[in-house]
Structure 1
Amino acid sequence: MRKTLLFFYILFISSLTLTVNAQSGSKTIVFNENIKTPLNGAEKDMLTEVYGEHLKMNILDNPQRLKSIKNILRNRVKIVDLSSFKKDYKLLSQVPLFNKYNSSLKRELFDKATFNPLKYSFDFYAKQTQVFRVDNTNYYIIIKSQHQN
């Protein structure tokens, strides 16, 4: 009887520890208010370019995925001009294209106004902020972690 009680006590303590560790390791992602508005024309064009005929099934029909994409486009990707910044970062040309749904995606001459971050296989779900340098320019692409506000 004592061994049985001891076994259940150890089992209870172990499950409690696992629950606490699992909860402390995950962070809630807080979305800005601006993700509540519908996609604008430029955002729809970016999504269509990358997802093509798979857009409806993979993004538009999945409300949580759509929120995540809006968050990436509206809040997490920033392009900054830092002419005096000489730190070496991975070049944009070294990031593969995300052509899983559209095999005809091509790299284009960089234009800050029309840059589509969804075309690239950035790790949008990394825990830390990432920085990439646009080849032969003073532009840097900063991708904030989804766990930062």
Structure 2
Amino acid sequence: MAYTFQVTVDSAAPHRLADWWAEALGWEVEPTDEEFIRRMVAEGQAREEDTTTHRGALVWKAGAAIRHPEGIERAPRVLFQFVPEPKTVKNRVHLDVRTGSDDPREVVERLIAKGARHLHDASQGPYTWTTLTDPEGNELCVSH
């Protein structure tokens, strides 16, 4: 049997990081069902402390997810989940962002302008890439 998966990223501010990644990839943040959240709290299935407000909407404090505009059939969902501790070491897993027909240098410049940090440029044989970190220090690579 073949399984599906989502990629989960620990985050100090999952909603802000989901916004950043959605913009970086041209994806969308999954919408929140505020009525469902309110009902869960009213029925005692969740607590007010489990919620927060982000961009004027009631959301779950625990996290936010993004998905490809064509759905999870096109690419795995990415979930950003709240963790209280800061990132302290290099990621063992990271996303490689492939720019397709877009110029990877322009993508790198755009991401840096939005809060990414340049770590280094590298190549191996005919392949070249740039390693960056997102605003919370998670590594990512940008290549064709």
TM over 0.5: no
Q: Rg bigger for which structure?
A: 1
TM (norm. structure 2) is 0.29
More strand by share: 2
TM (norm. structure 1) is 0.28
